[in-house]
Homo-oligomer: A and B are copies of this chain.
Amino acid sequence: MTEMLLPGAVIGILGGGQLGRMLSVAASRLGFTCHIYEPGAEPPAGHVAHRLTTASYEDEAALRAFAGSVDVITYEFENIPASALDFLETLKPIRPGRKALRVSQDRLAEKAFLRGIGLQTAAFAAVDDEIDLAEAIDEIGTPAILKTRRFGYDGKGQARIMAPADAEAALAALAGAPAVLEGFVEFSHEVSVIAARGLDGETACFDPGQNVHRDGILHTTTIPAQLSASQRTDAVLLAAKVLNTLNYVGVMGVELFVTPGGLIVNEIAPRVHNSGHWTQDGCLIDQFEQHIRAVAGWPLGDGRRHSDIEMLNLIGDDVAQVPALAKDSDVAIHLYGKAEAKPGRKMGHVNRRLGPAT
């Protein structure tokens, strides 16, 4: 029997964006309060959290006070400075653990890890300079994508190389950051599995969703995804293998390319994931509560869906559609409380209920 945090316990969340916001709401359902740690002012999670610390990840006194006030620490994004985590983990448990963070913070380490456990990925090669890049292009061919090893998200930190002549411009675009060249994958569509693993090693997956991106940002996720029964089984087994190997605790997003040669892992995210937002209106226990259950040592929800859903992200000015969407009786609206609708900024999402689970 593993330790189970009792109602009244405090969950510390590193990062105060929309994921922290929705985690805090889910934690409240289980009787927990949340303490958000976020360097930026007026974070969305602060609207629905009991405590908020506004301080940098370099502020050791603030980190110490934060750790002292919570029972367990989790995070809403994977790019937290290692120094902060090194310090915090001497004070309180961090879930998911450092191993998953180390792997997912670095595209090279991630791909090597995935290959190491027998999963398929795009062809890849480390690129630190123009000589590496020339060799990588020779080996992998074009088209290919040069990506920074660290800190990339929503298509940022990437440059396409359609032909070897694009190499110089791509390197310049990444401004000398350590990078990895990834071969193009010929895929029919992308799906993601939102998987969870509890403190006792139990795993549970939500049904895979099918993702469509626009301008490098997730646009829609539709459930169910187009997958054969065997692909569905492969997706779930593959996700469980990743979680078990990492001795993972919490929810992880696993993005997969569907190809005639099988499922190819695009990337893993050691946190709740945009492509899992549909669970809020499609499942009894959503991905946010599932994550809180895992980090609090509770039994997991089982991931069954009761409804088919299409999740649509509201990016930038899309938020102007809210009055019209509010009239649509099949739509649930989820806004993030962000004041300014900048281009490319995730302002909210809507879940359209398509009908009972098929």
**A26 nearest CB neighbor, chain B only:** B25
**A45 nearest CB neighbor, chain B only:** B28
Task: Decide: A31 and B329 in contact? CB cutoff 8 A.
Answer: no
Is A64 in the interface zone, CB < 8 Å from B?
no
Q: How many residues of A contact B (CB 8 A)?
A: 46
Q: How far is the CA of A299 from the CA of B284 in the complex (A)?
A: 25
Is A346 in the interface zone, CB < 8 Å from B?
no
Is A335 in the interface zone, CB < 8 Å from B?
yes
> How many copies of this chain sit in the oligomeric assembly?
2
Is A47 in the interface zone, CB < 8 Å from B?
yes
CB distance from A333 to the nearest CB of B (A): 6
Is A96 in the interface zone, CB < 8 Å from B?
no
Kindly specify which of A71-79, A209-217, A267-275, A319-327 makes contact with the partner chain. A319-327
A304-320 interface with B by 8 A CB criterion: 304, 306-307, 319
Task: Decide: A48 and B31 in contact? CB cutoff 8 A.
Answer: no
Known: A33-B337, A319-B7, A335-B29. A284 touches B48 (CB 8 A): no
30 contacts between A and B (CB under 8 A): A7-B319, A7-B335, A8-B337, A8-B339, A25-B28, A28-B47, A28-B48, A28-B337, A29-B332, A29-B334, A29-B335, A30-B333, A31-B322, A31-B335, A31-B336, A31-B337, A33-B47, A33-B337, A48-B48, A48-B50, A281-B284, A284-B331, A284-B332, A298-B326, A299-B326, A299-B327, A302-B329, A306-B307, A306-B353, A356-B356
